[in-house]
A and B are shown apart, each in its own frame.
Chain A
Amino acid sequence: MSTARIERHHYDVVVIGAGGAGLRAAIEARLAGKRTAIISKSLFGKAHTVMAEGGAAAAMGNVNSRDNWMVHFRDTMRGGKFLNNFRMAELHAKEAPERIWELETYGALFDRTKDGKISQRNFGGHEYPRLAHVGDRTGLELIRTLQQKIVSLQQEDFAETGNYDARIRVFSETTITELLLDGNRVAGAFGYYRESGEFLLLEAPAVILATGGVGRSYKVTSNSWEYTGDGHALALRAGATLINMEFLQFHPTGMVWPPSVKGILVTESVRGDGGVLRNSEGKRFMFDYVPDVFRKQYADTEEEADRWYNDADNNRRPPELLPRDEVARAINSEVKAGRGTPAGGVYLDVSTRMPAETITRRLPSMYHQFKELADVDITKEPMEVGPTCHYVMGGVEVEPDSAAAMGSVEGLFAAGEVSGGMHGSNRLGGNSLSDLLVFGKRAGEHAAAYAESLPKRPKVDTSDVEAAVLTALAPLERQGGENPYTLQQDLQAVMGDLVGIIRRESELTDALKRLQELKARVAQVGAAGGRRYNPGWHLALDLRNMLIVSECTAKAALEREESRGGHTREDFPQMNPQWRLVNLVCSLDRSGDVHLERKSLPRMRDELIQLFERTELSKYLTEDELSQFDAIEGPKGDARIPGVRTDGQSKTEAK
């Protein structure tokens, strides 16, 4: 195979991914004076970030002046069940407000408070109203703002040089299939244009991964087709490591019917406002699934549960409002027991619970979502819902301050969903958008500095490029090979059924066996047709990444013998403080198999752990750690946070 037809480019920094993290990183690299390329798998501005609705969490204190970074930090650690990389959570909480304010200088228009500041809304797990938002389309605003900032930088370059692309160029509909190394150093990235199928080689000393998540490995997901774990896999193959891959966030109530909207979220407030879950026999089954530890707080009769909505003080909560994992587990069990709906979910009903006008008043966005997307009138019929794969907490293990990937590789950076550690075992709503901005900026800044610091540019080895070409063309050579769509469905079935929301040892072992079989089949995948915009070919190439990432998730899920955040083991239902000390680190060995290693978590600095009360920490820490905590002198908990009332009135339980 000749390499003659490969388009070559030289850049200082290549950013793979054009979502929030990628665009923010690119802006920073360009502002640092580096020639920057942005690789966008779809068209510019279509990234999955647009799906984010709630908002971006930042302790600006606009709505409640008591809020500050320390409170935000605490909430983030609680949400992640203390498995978070504390330094990332700290940086995130400290820098999020600046990153949000900066967006306004790019032209963003957030919703406002009465005194003209950025409005902030309440969200699960956040102690104070903290999410900067624009109605329910905050993600779109973020992407558009960053997109337009990049255009404005291009306009500046045009004014100066006569070329819009002089310092920052967007390669839209371009996929990177391989990172190229010079020794341990990143030397470039190889990929193809979707439009033409032609190859391109970007030579650059620094590469930033911002490719998002892995949701397409699951049957039911809220993620788009791009979410095939490309960045995770590229990092592994380049010698970087992944952490926390066992932690996936499943939302208990995603739409399962109609098929076109499978996976799209149904907000929790549907249940909070009186929606009930029923199985195909019409039974309100959640009463059968209240775990013993929750019996005191949750009603055991429908009558009491129904009284709670109007009189929460004298009645116990309806069991529909149990924590997310409990609800998801219950739905899962009902469906597995054959009491699910035809589409494989359960019924979530508000139509028999309140008058139509109450529904449209209290749940307007849900009413419209079902009306517009599904032609279902939720005031007249029940919704069909089931757990949906939403977000991966795990990702590239990074150095917290610089976002540089750990492992053997140099010159690789990661930001956003593709990076791991920030959210621990469970992400709080709203922390994702701020994560993108904070660590996108850091990645861009440090990648630029790294590129600057190199005495000479790493060189791409021609034989690596030839190998990459052969790998990319292989599916096209096998016109009669197995259908990539079938393979994807089989992979989704394995992951959805065996490495889904509730996991068991036997199923995980089975899954690993099946993934090996799939690996052999994926090696024989074929793509009919030619190179021009051929989605079958593109999928065939993505499958390789999906498989390797799925293997990481399955292996780590089998290894971690406890339940914590986004990882629920039926055979180990409790959280275990010993496991909190451990991160599971995936790497790739020479044969291309996933290698798993335990690594201990960095110990939180004294002044940070002092922000917590002992009673809370005792749920998470080992006896040893608690005695270390006791040995620290000085005030602890709320007493350390300026402006916080110490009577405990404002406490909210983080889940």
Chain B
Amino acid sequence: MGTKRHFRVWRGDSAGGDIQDFDVEVNDGEVVLDIIHRLQATQTPDLACRWNCKAGKCGSCSMEINGKPRLGCMTRMSTFEEDETVTITPLRTFPVIRDLVTDVSFNYDKARETPAFAPPPGVAPGDYRMQQIDVERSQEFRKCIECFLCQNTCHVVRDHEDNKAAFSGPRSFIRAAELDMHPLDDREDRKEYAQAHQGMGLCNITKCCTEVCPEHIKITDNAIIPMKERVVDRRYDPLVWLGRKIFRRDQLNGSDGESMAPSTSVGVTDVAKGAPYTTNRLPENPPVREDGRMDVTEVTLPNPGGPSPFGDQTFPLPPDKVSYQQPGPRHGSLGEDGNRSEDGHHQTH
């Protein structure tokens, strides 16, 4: 009943490998993971691939399908043209173990470095009281199925192995945000910690993580941006600000952490220095298609199906291409560049 379709699947291990060609039967209603299972059952019994629930709930079958980070179980074959070749490759950001299986221990290591929930002292089990509206903010991030597609797609580490030590990635940021917004978490320094020790400053808010999230968590808008901007809020001090204009970062006392905040001045990594401001633009929701789902990438690729969802871009993007400007704190008379906003954290409401 099915038709034969052409597939290209990367096979190999840490020593190297290549893309191999397969012709596989595809039936109506199947997803990419079904095809991999058929390959295992009929042609390549040892083809390595992770999977568990087959319902988009466990986040195991992360892979790159035609260069886009996707869940194999949530990518329907009907989304491809009848004669389209489907290329399946392992997640690029993590070291390959074998075939489509990569070593994702990076993510678990980072999770282990994130300070755990601190229970409120003196509150007995059973006495926790929270309002639904307050838990909902954290609940959004607890939807995370740990598929690590956001970690995989984040250009800070995707193409820069050397950033991995200092940068924990979007998955860790939403964990930090979740705890920060937890109504009863006893720690007060989640944001500062994320800036100082998780490398949140390296994030320049290109929203790639939000686009690939199969749970549609608004990682950038609801977690990273509020975290970044409230650090500015809390730490804002004209003298420090002035000092930052004058001294080099490493000459500043205790600058560890606050220097990572996005600011209206030189910025975190100087990347955005001189970037044109787009007025006080609010963060936008990611574009959704008619069916309510997001495209994997908003960058129109010159070569669809390339190895990276971002085409042949090199990251970080050149400063003049970065159009996003963080709304700044309200201090109209400070700064020569005229960036104002009414309120430092409006989009969190």
Contacts and interface: CB of A to CB of B under 8 A. Distances in A.
Contact of A529 (B45, B53, B54): B45
Nearest to A197: B98
B50 A106 contact: no
Contacts of A530: 46
A160 interface: no
B22 interface: no
Contacts of A371: 291
Contact of A104 (B31, B98, B128): B128
Q: Which of B13, B142, B185 counts the most A-chain CB atoms under 10 A from its CB?
A: B142
Interface in B81-132: 97-99, 101, 103-104, 108, 111-112, 115-117, 119, 125-126, 128-132
Nearest to B119: A105
Contacts of A536: 40, 45-46
Contacts of A374: 29
Contacts of A224: 51-54, 58
Contacts of A109: 130, 135, 138-139, 142, 182
Interface string B53-77: 1111111100000000000011010
Nearest to A109: B135
A260 B33 contact: yes
B200 to A, nearest CB: 20
A286 interface: no
A83 B48 CA distance: 43
Interface stretch (A70-78, A110-118, A122-130, A588-596): A110-118
Interface residues of A, number: 69
A107 interface: yes
A375 B78 contact: yes
B188 interface: no
Contact of B13 (A260, A528, A532): A532
B240 interface: no
A628 to B, nearest CB: 38
A528 B115 CA distance: 44
Contacts of A50: 53, 57-58, 145
Given A46-B52, A152-B116, A528-B46, A101 B142 contact: no
Contact of B129 (A60, A115, A148, A151): A115
B143 interface: yes
B197 to A, nearest CB: 13
B159 interface: no
Interface string B181-218: 01001000000000000000000000000000000000
Q: Is the interface of B mostly helix, strand, loop or mixed?
A: loop
A532 B99 CA distance: 10
A416 interface: no
B115 A105 contact: no
A534 B48 contact: yes
A66 interface: no
A260 B46 contact: no
B193 to A, nearest CB: 13
B41 interface: yes
A484 interface: yes
B53 A148 contact: no
Contacts of B131: 112, 116
B30 interface: yes
A95 to B, nearest CB: 12
Contacts of A259: 27, 29-30, 34
Given A46-B59, A104-B128, A112-B131, A535 B116 contact: no
B101 to A, nearest CB: 5
Interface stretch (A134-142, A176-184, A405-413, A563-571): A134-142
Contacts of B56: 372-373
A74 to B, nearest CB: 23
Nearest to B55: A264
B117 A260 contact: no
Q: Which of A258, A371, A486 counts the most B-chain CB atoms under 10 A from its CB?
A: A258
B271 interface: no
Contacts of A51: 53, 55, 57-58
Q: Which of A119, A484, A485 counts the most B-chain CB atoms under 10 A from its CB?
A: A485
B70 to A, nearest CB: 13
A534 B46 contact: yes
Nearest to B146: A45
A294 interface: no
B183 to A, nearest CB: 9
Given A151-B112, A152-B116, A484-B45, A43 B50 contact: yes
B47 interface: yes
B268 interface: no
A483 interface: yes
A401 B46 CA distance: 43
A137 B47 contact: no
Nearest to A486: B41
Interface string B14-33: 00000000000001111101
A164 B99 CA distance: 30
| 6 closest cross-chain pairs (CB), A and B | A258-B29, A529-B46, A107-B117, A152-B116, A536-B45, A116-B129
Interface of B: 13, 27-31, 33-34, 40-42, 45-60, 73-74, 76, 78, 97-99, 101, 103-104, 108, 111-112, 115-117, 119, 125-126, 128-132, 135, 138-139, 142-146, 179, 182, 185, 291
Given A42-B58, A45-B146, A260-B31, 18 more contacts: A48-B52, A60-B126, A107-B117, A107-B185, A119-B132, A137-B143, A140-B143, A148-B116, A151-B116, A195-B98, A224-B52, A224-B58, A260-B29, A261-B55, A264-B55, A533-B48, A533-B99, A537-B46
21 contacts: A42-B52, A42-B60, A45-B146, A51-B57, A104-B128, A107-B179, A109-B135, A151-B112, A258-B28, A258-B30, A260-B34, A260-B73, A261-B54, A373-B56, A373-B74, A489-B41, A527-B46, A532-B13, A533-B97, A534-B48, A536-B40
